[in-house]
Amino acid sequence: MQSALIVIDLQNDFCPGGALAVVNGDSIVPQINAKMNDYNIIALTQDWHPTGHSSFASSQAGKSPLETIKMPYGVQVLWPDHCIQGTRGAGFHRSLNTNPASLILRKGCNPRIDSYSAFFENDHKTPTGLHGYLQSRGVTDVDLVGLATDFCVNFSAVDAANLGYKTRVFEHLTKAIDLDGSLSAARAAMIAAGVTLES
């Protein structure tokens, strides 16, 4: 058995003061830093959007943040501009210890499709490369922490379980947006996929 810790999107724009801030999103950073001591394989993910990404409300005429539209790959929530490549907002939170990371994975780079999951873009077909990396390291178990519980953590956990990993989410090391009941829906989806939720 080989375990990996996947730290999802602990970036400035998702923390207080950021463009898409999760309430108290930075409060989990010290505990996540401590958790890293338990793992030899640690992957950090980063939302890394080009300017004018199609998931930004500003790119869709007449639309506002948190509205939804139909995209070729399904329903897409429209977000405020966030995590734009090379900006401070896209950077990791200053308190996050990035030194132990064996992989930093950037996602959401394709301007035409969003990428919540660390494993696939939102078409659920285009891989990010994380699965191949974990396979090459002999990983069988993945534990997930980070932001936000109901979007990128949820999608990543469900994909990990569907790919055959024994998957856990440490809920106390995540924070949620909770948009119109999205947290309860995400918890149900993770449980249905076989993800273990640990409080």
d(CA 88, CA 74): 30
Residue type for 45, please?
A: T
Assign 171 a pLDDT band (cuts: 50, 70, 90): very high
Query: Helix (H, G, I), strand (E, B), or coil: what is residue 46?
Result: strand
What value does the mean pLDDT take over residues 162-185? 96
Active site residue 15: no
Q: Annotated catalytic residue: which of 26, 81, 107, 150? A: 107
- HSE (side-chain half, CA atoms, 13 Å) at 195: 31
Q: Give the Cα separation of 97 and 130 in Å (integer).
A: 20
The residue to which tokens 């830093």 are assigned: 33
pLDDT level of residue 172 (50, 70, 90 thresholds): very high
Q: What is the pLDDT of residue 167?
A: 98
Looking at residue 184, its pLDDT comes to 97
Higher pLDDT, 180 or 140: 140
Known catalytic residue at 83: no
Of the pLDDT bands very low, low, confident and very high (cuts 50, 70, 90), residue 153 is very high
Provide the 10 A C-beta neighbour count for residue 177: 23
Q: Which pLDDT band holds residue 56 (cuts at 50, 70, 90)?
A: very high
Residue 57: its pLDDT value, please? 97
Average pLDDT for residues 12-16, to the nearest whole number? 98
If you average pLDDT over residues 176-180, what whole number do you get?
92
Cα angle 75-80-82, degrees, rounded to a multiple of 5? 105
- Is 150 in contact with 158 (CB distance < 8 Å)? no
Give pLDDT, residue 110. Answer: 96
Kindly state the average pLDDT of the residues 1-14. 97
Please work out, in degrees rounded to the nearest 5, the angle formed at the alpha carbon of residue 105 by the alpha carbons of 178 and 34: 70
* pLDDT score of 190: 98
pLDDT at 72: 94
Mean pLDDT of the chain: 97
CA 49 to CA 2: how far, in whole Å?
31
Report the pLDDT value the prediction gives residue 4, as an integer from 0 to 100. Answer: 98
pTM above 0.95, yes or no: yes
| Burial degree of 86 (CB within 10 A; 0-12, 13-18, 19+) | exposed
Instruction: Return the sign of the alpha-carbon dihedral for residues 181, 144, 133, 109.
Output: positive
Catalytic residue among 83, 143, 150, 152: 152
Pick from 163, 162, 171, 164: nearest CA to 198:
171
Question: Is residue 152 annotated as a catalytic residue, yes or no?
Answer: yes
- The β-bridge partners of 41 are 4
Catalytic residue among 9, 26, 81, 159: 9
User: Beta strands 141-147 and 3-8: pairing type?
Assistant: parallel
Look at residue 37 in the predicted model and tell me its pLDDT: 98
- How does pLDDT run across 86-101, given as a tens digit for each residue? 999 999 999 999 999 9
